């Protein structure tokens, strides 16, 4: 395809991947601030396209009029309402980004059709994610749907990364990797365990939400001890994941040449894992500071994406080698 069109797709595709990560971070901020039900209806907010900023703008019976799942909603909180509404606006913006990515991918329809189909799949998944978000609100933050919502967001990231990765096929750069099969197995295991750890983290987050609400968001220093088994599994699992990724980085260093891009990605992965574990420890021992919760989740999803990129790099063959990423 035309080189300029290819560059446009790659650049905008990378921007879209970053934008999806930003959406995940914003969604985590919604969770950490308890703003998930800041807007009790969908797609409007308290029946308005522009949310209210003052309780005087709402009818006196708003708590029953906008009840969810047969239950009255909580007292109006302008901050939580606007945090949730901004989250929705960012979601709509991401939808437009992915639609533009899909349009740009049509230039690959004849030369590399999977790029177009991957972009189309990402667009359809975003539409499903939007519908799923409406169901999360309609069910008053169903734990199962919240977890599914996160998993779908991660799958969207992977689909977009793969689509953009395939478009970097201009320069004949190929790394000779010994023991590729063994390293592949380690990386696949690390990827699956990271996904499981993220799901476990959402369960811990659900427990924290329930405990914090029952204590009226006070006594933060007691939250961790009340979480129970999921927290200790999640904490211990992080050490297993770090050990496995440390072994992965060692194997990559052992089986690649000096200056290998995979070595750099492996080093970056270990650094992110170290910061992730440190942020988890701070959440545990510093009474769950709210500002750390989105950072903790964002790093987990970023680690997941980096592992996937490494998997793609390892399995890039000489005939389909890629440009530097």
**Mean pLDDT within 263-276:** 94
pLDDT of 85 > 80? The answer is yes
Confidence tier at 320 by pLDDT (50, 70, 90): very low
pTM of the model: 0.87
Domains of the chain: 1-167 (no CATH), 172-325 (1.20.120)
Q: Between 35 and 324, name the one with better pLDDT.
A: 35
Cβ atoms of 297 and 275 closer than 8 Å: no
Answer yes or no: is pLDDT of 170 > 70: no
Cα–Cα distances in Å, from 121 out to 88, 102, 110, 194, 268?
21, 9, 18, 23, 29
Residue 319 has pLDDT above 80, yes or no: no
- Higher per-residue pLDDT: 259 or 14: 14
Q: Lowest-confidence range among 97-111, 119-133, 178-192, 226-240? A: 226-240
On average, the pLDDT of the chain sits at 87
More confident residue, 82 or 205: 82
Look at 134-148, 264-278, 308-322 and tell me which has the smallest mean pLDDT: 308-322
């Amino acid at each position: 395809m035309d080189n300029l069109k290819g560059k446009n797709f790659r650049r905008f595709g990378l921007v879209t991947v970053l934008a999806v990560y930003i959406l995940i971070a914003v969604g985590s901020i919604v969770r950490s601030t308890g703003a998930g039900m800041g807007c009790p209806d969908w797609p409007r907010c308290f029946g308005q396209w522009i949310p209210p900023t003052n309780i005087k703008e709402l009818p006196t019976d708003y708590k029953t009029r906008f009840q969810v799942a047969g239950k009255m909603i909580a007292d109006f909180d302008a901050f939580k309402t606007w945090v949730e509404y901004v989250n929705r606006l960012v979601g709509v913006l991401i939808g437009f980004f992915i639609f533009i990515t899909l349009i740009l991918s049509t230039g690959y329809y004849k030369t590399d059709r999977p790029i177009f189909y991957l972009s189309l799949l990402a667009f359809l998944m975003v539409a499903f994610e939007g519908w799923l978000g409406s169901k999360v609100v309609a069910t008053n933050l169903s734990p199962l749907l919240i977890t599914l919502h996160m998993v779908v967001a991660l799958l969207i990231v992977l689909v977009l990364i793969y689509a953009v990765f395939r478009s970097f096929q201009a320069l004949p750069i190929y790394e000779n990797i010994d023991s590729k099969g063994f390293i592949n197995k380690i990386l696949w295991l690390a990827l699956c365990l990271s996904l499981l750890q993220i799901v476990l983290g959402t369960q811990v987050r659900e427990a924290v939400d329930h405990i914090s609400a029952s204590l009226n968001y006070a006594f933060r220093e007691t939250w961790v001890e009340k979480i129970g088994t999921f927290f200790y599994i999640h904490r211990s699992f992080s050490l297993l994941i770090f050990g496995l990724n440390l072994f992965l980085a060692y194997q990559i260093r052992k089986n690649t040449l000096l200056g290998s891009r995979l070595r750099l990605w492996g080093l970056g992965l270990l650094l992110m894992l170290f910061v992730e574990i440190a942020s988890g420890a701070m959440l545990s021992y510093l009474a769950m500071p709210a500002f750390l919760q989105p950072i903790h989740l964002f790093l987990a999803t970023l680690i997941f994406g980096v592992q996937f990129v490494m998997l793609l790099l390892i399995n890039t063959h000489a005939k389909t080698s890629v440009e530097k990423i």
